[in-house]
Amino acid sequence: MTRTPVNVTVTGAAGQIGYALLFRIASGHLLGADVPVKLRLLEIPQGVKAAEGTAMELDDCAFPLLKGIDIFDDPNKGFEGANVALLVGARPRTKGMERGDLLAANGGIFKPQGKAINDNAADDIKVLVVGNPANTNALIAQAAAPDVPAERFTAMTRLDHNRALTQLAQKTGSSVEDIKRLTIWGNHSATQYPDIFHAEIAGKNAADVVNDEAWLADTFIPTVAKRGAAIIEARGASSAASAANAAIDHVHTWVNGTAAGDWTSMGIPSDGSYGVPEGLISSFPVVCKDGRYEIVQGLDINEFSRTRIDASVKELSEERDAVRELGLI
Protein backbone atom coordinates (compact mmCIF):
# COMPACT_ATOMS: atom_id res chain seq x y z
CA MET A 1 0.00 0.00 0.00
CA THR A 2 1.31 3.47 -0.83
CA ARG A 3 1.42 5.77 2.19
CA THR A 4 0.14 9.33 1.97
CA PRO A 5 3.10 11.69 2.26
CA VAL A 6 3.47 13.57 5.54
CA ASN A 7 3.53 17.35 5.09
CA VAL A 8 6.50 18.86 6.89
CA THR A 9 6.72 22.66 7.10
CA VAL A 10 10.12 24.17 7.85
CA THR A 11 10.46 27.88 8.57
CA GLY A 12 13.80 29.62 8.12
CA ALA A 13 14.46 27.06 5.41
CA ALA A 14 17.21 29.16 3.81
CA GLY A 15 19.17 29.56 7.03
CA GLN A 16 22.09 27.50 8.25
CA ILE A 17 20.02 25.07 10.35
CA GLY A 18 17.57 24.73 7.46
CA TYR A 19 20.41 23.71 5.16
CA ALA A 20 21.56 21.01 7.58
CA LEU A 21 18.00 19.84 8.27
CA LEU A 22 16.18 19.54 4.97
CA PHE A 23 18.34 16.81 3.42
CA ARG A 24 17.91 14.60 6.45
CA ILE A 25 14.14 15.08 6.49
CA ALA A 26 14.03 14.21 2.80
CA SER A 27 16.14 11.09 3.30
CA GLY A 28 13.83 9.64 5.96
CA HIS A 29 15.61 10.49 9.20
CA LEU A 30 12.81 12.61 10.67
CA LEU A 31 9.92 10.20 10.48
CA GLY A 32 11.26 6.86 9.32
CA ALA A 33 12.83 5.13 6.34
CA ASP A 34 9.42 4.14 4.94
CA VAL A 35 7.58 7.45 5.37
CA PRO A 36 7.23 9.67 2.27
CA VAL A 37 7.33 13.42 2.90
CA LYS A 38 6.33 16.63 1.19
CA LEU A 39 8.35 19.68 2.20
CA ARG A 40 6.76 23.09 2.63
CA LEU A 41 9.47 25.72 3.03
CA LEU A 42 8.53 29.02 4.63
CA GLU A 43 10.83 32.02 4.34
CA ILE A 44 10.63 35.78 4.38
CA PRO A 45 10.62 37.27 0.86
CA GLN A 46 14.39 37.95 0.96
CA GLY A 47 15.03 34.27 1.78
CA VAL A 48 12.92 32.75 -0.98
CA LYS A 49 15.61 32.74 -3.68
CA ALA A 50 18.11 30.92 -1.47
CA ALA A 51 15.37 28.44 -0.51
CA GLU A 52 14.79 27.83 -4.21
CA GLY A 53 18.47 26.99 -4.56
CA THR A 54 18.23 24.49 -1.70
CA ALA A 55 15.13 22.99 -3.31
CA MET A 56 17.12 22.49 -6.54
CA GLU A 57 19.76 20.62 -4.57
CA LEU A 58 17.10 18.52 -2.85
CA ASP A 59 15.76 17.58 -6.30
CA ASP A 60 19.27 16.68 -7.36
CA CYS A 61 19.55 14.13 -4.56
CA ALA A 62 16.68 12.09 -6.09
CA PHE A 63 15.50 11.03 -2.63
CA PRO A 64 12.87 8.30 -3.11
CA LEU A 65 10.85 9.50 -0.09
CA LEU A 66 10.65 13.15 -1.17
CA LYS A 67 7.31 13.60 -2.92
CA GLY A 68 7.33 17.38 -3.41
CA ILE A 69 8.78 20.74 -2.36
CA ASP A 70 6.84 24.00 -2.22
CA ILE A 71 8.21 27.37 -1.15
CA PHE A 72 6.16 30.15 0.43
CA ASP A 73 6.54 33.55 2.04
CA ASP A 74 2.97 33.52 3.39
CA PRO A 75 2.55 31.60 6.68
CA ASN A 76 -1.08 30.71 5.88
CA LYS A 77 0.07 28.85 2.78
CA GLY A 78 3.24 27.52 4.38
CA PHE A 79 1.32 25.73 7.15
CA GLU A 80 -1.57 24.54 4.98
CA GLY A 81 -2.12 20.85 5.71
CA ALA A 82 1.07 20.64 7.80
CA ASN A 83 1.37 17.49 9.92
CA VAL A 84 4.75 18.48 11.37
CA ALA A 85 6.04 22.06 11.69
CA LEU A 86 9.62 22.92 12.53
CA LEU A 87 9.80 26.59 13.48
CA VAL A 88 13.44 27.42 12.92
CA GLY A 89 13.38 30.94 11.47
CA ALA A 90 13.72 33.60 14.15
CA ARG A 91 15.13 37.03 14.68
CA PRO A 92 18.63 36.66 16.12
CA ARG A 93 19.85 38.99 18.82
CA THR A 94 21.95 41.78 17.36
CA LYS A 95 24.26 44.29 18.98
CA GLY A 96 22.61 46.59 21.49
CA MET A 97 19.40 44.56 21.56
CA GLU A 98 17.87 44.01 24.99
CA ARG A 99 16.09 40.80 25.91
CA GLY A 100 12.74 42.61 25.70
CA ASP A 101 13.53 43.80 22.16
CA LEU A 102 14.33 40.23 21.15
CA LEU A 103 11.08 38.94 22.63
CA ALA A 104 9.11 41.68 20.86
CA ALA A 105 10.81 41.03 17.51
CA ASN A 106 10.15 37.30 17.78
CA GLY A 107 6.58 37.92 18.88
CA GLY A 108 6.11 39.49 15.46
CA ILE A 109 7.13 36.16 13.91
CA PHE A 110 5.67 33.51 16.24
CA LYS A 111 2.27 35.08 16.91
CA PRO A 112 1.24 35.17 13.23
CA GLN A 113 2.79 31.75 12.67
CA GLY A 114 0.81 30.32 15.60
CA LYS A 115 -2.37 31.78 14.13
CA ALA A 116 -1.53 30.41 10.69
CA ILE A 117 -0.99 26.96 12.24
CA ASN A 118 -4.31 27.29 14.06
CA ASP A 119 -6.16 28.16 10.85
CA ASN A 120 -4.42 25.98 8.28
CA ALA A 121 -2.51 23.00 9.69
CA ALA A 122 -3.76 19.40 9.71
CA ASP A 123 -5.63 18.17 12.80
CA ASP A 124 -2.68 16.03 13.89
CA ILE A 125 -0.13 18.89 13.71
CA LYS A 126 2.97 18.54 15.88
CA VAL A 127 5.09 21.68 16.35
CA LEU A 128 8.74 21.96 17.36
CA VAL A 129 10.12 25.43 18.01
CA VAL A 130 13.88 25.72 17.48
CA GLY A 131 14.23 29.49 16.96
CA ASN A 132 15.38 31.28 20.10
CA PRO A 133 14.26 32.06 22.74
CA ALA A 134 12.69 28.69 21.90
CA ASN A 135 10.56 28.05 25.01
CA THR A 136 8.95 31.46 25.02
CA ASN A 137 8.55 31.55 21.24
CA ALA A 138 6.68 28.24 21.57
CA LEU A 139 4.48 29.83 24.24
CA ILE A 140 3.67 32.76 21.93
CA ALA A 141 2.81 30.46 19.02
CA GLN A 142 0.70 28.21 21.24
CA ALA A 143 -1.25 31.14 22.69
CA ALA A 144 -2.13 32.21 19.14
CA ALA A 145 -3.49 28.73 18.33
CA PRO A 146 -6.41 28.14 20.71
CA ASP A 147 -7.93 25.40 18.52
CA VAL A 148 -4.80 23.25 18.57
CA PRO A 149 -4.26 21.12 21.71
CA ALA A 150 -1.63 22.97 23.77
CA GLU A 151 0.58 19.89 24.13
CA ARG A 152 1.32 19.88 20.39
CA PHE A 153 3.60 22.91 20.88
CA THR A 154 7.06 21.91 22.02
CA ALA A 155 10.46 23.60 22.30
CA MET A 156 13.84 22.08 21.60
CA THR A 157 16.11 21.08 24.47
CA ARG A 158 17.29 17.89 22.76
CA LEU A 159 20.52 19.59 21.71
CA ASP A 160 21.26 20.26 25.38
CA HIS A 161 20.34 16.65 26.16
CA ASN A 162 22.72 15.34 23.49
CA ARG A 163 25.48 17.69 24.64
CA ALA A 164 25.07 16.41 28.21
CA LEU A 165 25.22 12.77 27.05
CA THR A 166 28.57 13.31 25.39
CA GLN A 167 30.07 15.31 28.28
CA LEU A 168 29.06 12.57 30.71
CA ALA A 169 30.32 9.79 28.43
CA GLN A 170 33.68 11.51 28.03
CA LYS A 171 34.06 12.09 31.77
CA THR A 172 33.27 8.48 32.68
CA GLY A 173 34.97 6.77 29.74
CA SER A 174 31.66 5.28 28.70
CA SER A 175 29.73 5.22 25.48
CA VAL A 176 26.72 7.50 24.86
CA GLU A 177 24.47 4.53 24.20
CA ASP A 178 25.21 3.19 27.69
CA ILE A 179 23.70 6.34 29.25
CA LYS A 180 19.99 6.40 29.99
CA ARG A 181 17.52 8.66 31.81
CA LEU A 182 19.41 11.91 31.66
CA THR A 183 17.24 15.03 32.00
CA ILE A 184 17.40 18.66 30.93
CA TRP A 185 15.11 20.79 33.10
CA GLY A 186 13.88 24.33 32.46
CA ASN A 187 14.75 26.82 29.76
CA HIS A 188 16.93 26.41 26.67
CA SER A 189 19.28 29.05 28.00
CA ALA A 190 22.28 29.33 30.29
CA THR A 191 20.00 28.67 33.30
CA GLN A 192 18.99 25.19 32.10
CA TYR A 193 19.74 22.30 34.45
CA PRO A 194 21.23 19.06 33.11
CA ASP A 195 20.44 16.45 35.79
CA ILE A 196 22.40 13.21 36.14
CA PHE A 197 21.01 12.13 39.54
CA HIS A 198 18.49 9.77 37.92
CA ALA A 199 20.69 8.88 34.97
CA GLU A 200 22.29 5.47 34.60
CA ILE A 201 25.52 4.44 32.98
CA ALA A 202 25.46 0.78 31.99
CA GLY A 203 22.86 0.23 34.72
CA LYS A 204 24.72 2.09 37.52
CA ASN A 205 23.61 5.44 38.95
CA ALA A 206 25.49 8.14 37.01
CA ALA A 207 25.99 10.47 40.00
CA ASP A 208 27.56 7.57 41.93
CA VAL A 209 29.82 6.68 39.00
CA VAL A 210 30.95 10.32 38.68
CA ASN A 211 31.16 10.79 42.46
CA ASP A 212 32.45 14.34 42.06
CA GLU A 213 29.98 17.10 42.94
CA ALA A 214 32.55 19.82 42.19
CA TRP A 215 32.87 18.54 38.60
CA LEU A 216 29.11 18.49 38.33
CA ALA A 217 28.65 22.04 39.62
CA ASP A 218 31.73 23.71 38.15
CA THR A 219 32.40 21.85 34.90
CA PHE A 220 29.55 19.68 33.64
CA ILE A 221 26.60 22.03 34.16
CA PRO A 222 28.30 25.20 32.83
CA THR A 223 29.84 23.33 29.88
CA VAL A 224 26.44 22.04 28.76
CA ALA A 225 24.56 25.25 29.56
CA LYS A 226 27.06 27.53 27.83
CA ARG A 227 27.89 25.27 24.90
CA GLY A 228 25.94 27.43 22.43
CA ALA A 229 28.09 30.45 23.28
CA ALA A 230 31.30 28.37 23.11
CA ILE A 231 30.37 27.25 19.59
CA ILE A 232 29.65 30.81 18.48
CA GLU A 233 33.04 31.82 19.88
CA ALA A 234 34.86 28.99 18.07
CA ARG A 235 32.95 28.84 14.79
CA GLY A 236 31.94 32.47 14.40
CA ALA A 237 28.36 31.23 13.91
CA SER A 238 25.86 29.43 16.10
CA SER A 239 25.51 25.67 16.10
CA ALA A 240 23.77 24.44 12.97
CA ALA A 241 24.38 20.78 12.10
CA SER A 242 24.09 19.71 15.74
CA ALA A 243 20.92 21.78 16.13
CA ALA A 244 19.45 20.20 12.99
CA ASN A 245 20.41 16.77 14.30
CA ALA A 246 18.68 17.47 17.59
CA ALA A 247 15.52 18.64 15.79
CA ILE A 248 15.52 15.34 13.87
CA ASP A 249 15.99 13.42 17.13
CA HIS A 250 13.21 15.37 18.91
CA VAL A 251 10.56 14.71 16.27
CA HIS A 252 11.71 11.15 15.56
CA THR A 253 11.41 10.26 19.24
CA TRP A 254 8.06 12.05 19.62
CA VAL A 255 6.62 10.15 16.65
CA ASN A 256 8.35 6.78 17.07
CA GLY A 257 8.79 6.55 20.85
CA THR A 258 11.52 6.38 23.48
CA ALA A 259 13.42 3.11 23.97
CA ALA A 260 12.25 0.82 26.80
CA GLY A 261 13.75 1.94 30.11
CA ASP A 262 14.88 5.31 28.78
CA TRP A 263 13.47 8.80 28.49
CA THR A 264 14.32 12.03 26.71
CA SER A 265 14.08 15.79 27.33
CA MET A 266 11.52 18.03 25.63
CA GLY A 267 10.31 21.57 26.28
CA ILE A 268 6.57 21.08 26.81
CA PRO A 269 3.66 22.92 28.45
CA SER A 270 3.84 22.20 32.17
CA ASP A 271 0.90 20.49 33.85
CA GLY A 272 2.24 21.67 37.21
CA SER A 273 4.50 18.64 37.70
CA TYR A 274 7.64 19.13 39.82
CA GLY A 275 6.46 22.57 40.95
CA VAL A 276 6.75 24.11 37.47
CA PRO A 277 3.82 26.54 37.07
CA GLU A 278 1.15 25.20 34.76
CA GLY A 279 1.38 26.45 31.19
CA LEU A 280 5.06 27.40 31.16
CA ILE A 281 6.93 25.65 28.35
CA SER A 282 9.70 24.03 30.31
CA SER A 283 11.98 21.07 29.68
CA PHE A 284 11.03 17.83 31.47
CA PRO A 285 11.96 14.16 31.36
CA VAL A 286 9.41 12.54 29.05
CA VAL A 287 8.61 9.13 27.64
CA CYS A 288 7.09 8.99 24.17
CA LYS A 289 4.75 6.32 22.83
CA ASP A 290 2.28 6.19 19.94
CA GLY A 291 3.00 9.80 18.93
CA ARG A 292 2.35 11.18 22.43
CA TYR A 293 4.58 12.13 25.34
CA GLU A 294 4.15 11.94 29.10
CA ILE A 295 6.18 13.54 31.88
CA VAL A 296 8.09 10.95 33.92
CA GLN A 297 6.55 11.17 37.39
CA GLY A 298 7.76 10.39 40.88
CA LEU A 299 11.43 11.39 40.61
CA ASP A 300 12.97 12.40 43.88
CA ILE A 301 14.41 15.92 43.46
CA ASN A 302 17.31 16.62 45.81
CA GLU A 303 18.32 20.05 47.14
CA PHE A 304 21.09 20.47 44.53
CA SER A 305 18.60 19.90 41.71
CA ARG A 306 15.71 21.84 43.29
CA THR A 307 17.67 25.10 43.47
CA ARG A 308 18.74 24.83 39.85
CA ILE A 309 15.34 23.82 38.47
CA ASP A 310 13.74 26.70 40.37
CA ALA A 311 16.25 29.21 38.96
CA SER A 312 15.55 28.20 35.36
CA VAL A 313 11.79 28.10 35.91
CA LYS A 314 11.97 31.59 37.44
CA GLU A 315 13.59 32.82 34.22
CA LEU A 316 10.79 31.20 32.20
CA SER A 317 8.18 32.91 34.38
CA GLU A 318 9.90 36.26 33.81
CA GLU A 319 9.92 35.69 30.05
CA ARG A 320 6.22 34.84 30.21
CA ASP A 321 5.52 38.02 32.18
CA ALA A 322 7.48 40.05 29.61
CA VAL A 323 5.57 38.68 26.60
CA ARG A 324 2.30 39.12 28.49
CA GLU A 325 3.16 42.77 29.04
CA LEU A 326 3.91 43.10 25.34
CA GLY A 327 0.45 41.70 24.57
CA LEU A 328 1.92 38.66 22.81
CA ILE A 329 0.07 36.07 24.82
Ligand X SMILES: NC(=O)C1=CN([C@@H]2O[C@H](COP(=O)(O)OP(=O)(O)OC[C@H]3O[C@@H](n4cnc5c(N)ncnc54)[C@H](O)[C@@H]3O)[C@@H](O)[C@H]2O)C=CC1
The catalytic residues are 188
Q: Does 239 bind ligand X (CB under 6 A)?
A: yes
CA distances in angstroms from 261 to 127, 153, 180, 200, 275, listed in the order given: 26, 25, 8, 10, 24
Give the span between the Cα atoms of 18 and 12, in whole angstroms.
Answer: 6
User: Considering only residues 194, 228, 267, 269, which one is a binding residue for ligand OAA as defined by CB under 6 A?
Assistant: 228
Q: Does 239 bind ligand OAA (CB under 6 A)?
A: yes
Neighbours of 232 (CB within 10 A): 12
Q: Does 107 bind ligand X (CB under 6 A)?
A: no
Q: Does 157 bind ligand OAA (CB under 6 A)?
A: no
* Residue 231 touches which member of ligand X, ligand OAA, none, C-beta under 5-8 Å by kind: ligand OAA
Give the span between the Cα atoms of 44 and 40, in whole angstroms.
Answer: 13
Q: Does 111 bind ligand X (CB under 6 A)?
A: no
In the Cβ-directed half-sphere of 278, how many Cα atoms lie within 13 Å? 3
Question: How far is the first Cα of the chain from the last one, in angstroms, to the nearest whole number?
Answer: 44
Q: Does 313 bind ligand OAA (CB under 6 A)?
A: no
User: Considering only residues 25, 148, 156, 288, which one is a binding residue for ligand X as defined by CB under 6 A?
Assistant: 156
Q: Does 267 bind ligand OAA (CB under 6 A)?
A: no
Instruction: State which residue, 42 or 125, has the beta carbon closest to ligand X.
Output: 42
CA distances in angstroms from 104 to 62, 110, 295, listed in the order given: 41, 10, 30
Q: Are 131 and 139 in contact (CB under 8 A)?
A: no
Instruction: State which residue, 240 or 326, has the beta carbon closest to ligand X.
Output: 240
Q: Which of helix, strand or coil describes residue 155?
A: strand
Q: Does 265 bind ligand OAA (CB under 6 A)?
A: no
Q: Are 258 and 287 in contact (CB under 8 A)?
A: yes
> What is residue 216's DSSP assignment?
I
Strand-strand pairing, 183-185 and 6-11? unpaired
Q: Does 120 bind ligand X (CB under 6 A)?
A: no
Q: Does 136 bind ligand OAA (CB under 6 A)?
A: no
* Residue 42 touches which member of ligand X, ligand OAA, none, C-beta under 5-8 Å by kind: ligand X
Q: In one letter, which amino acid is 155?
A: A
Q: Does 15 bind ligand OAA (CB under 6 A)?
A: no
Q: Are 180 and 262 in contact (CB under 8 A)?
A: yes
* Residue 22 touches which member of ligand X, ligand OAA, none, C-beta under 5-8 Å by kind: none
Choose among 20, 166, 103: nearest CA to 318.
Answer: 103
Q: In one letter, which amino acid is 159?
A: L
User: Considering only residues 76, 174, 238, 256, which one is a binding residue for ligand X as defined by CB under 6 A?
Assistant: 238
* Residue 14 touches which member of ligand X, ligand OAA, none, C-beta under 5-8 Å by kind: ligand X
**Residues at the contact surface with ligand X, assessed by CB under 6 A:** 11-12, 14-18, 42-44, 47, 88-90, 92, 109, 130-132, 134, 156, 159, 188, 238-240, 243
- Give the residue ranges of the annotated binding site: 12-18, 93, 99, 106, 113, 130-132, 163
**Residues at the contact surface with ligand OAA, assessed by CB under 6 A:** 132, 159, 228-229, 231, 238-239
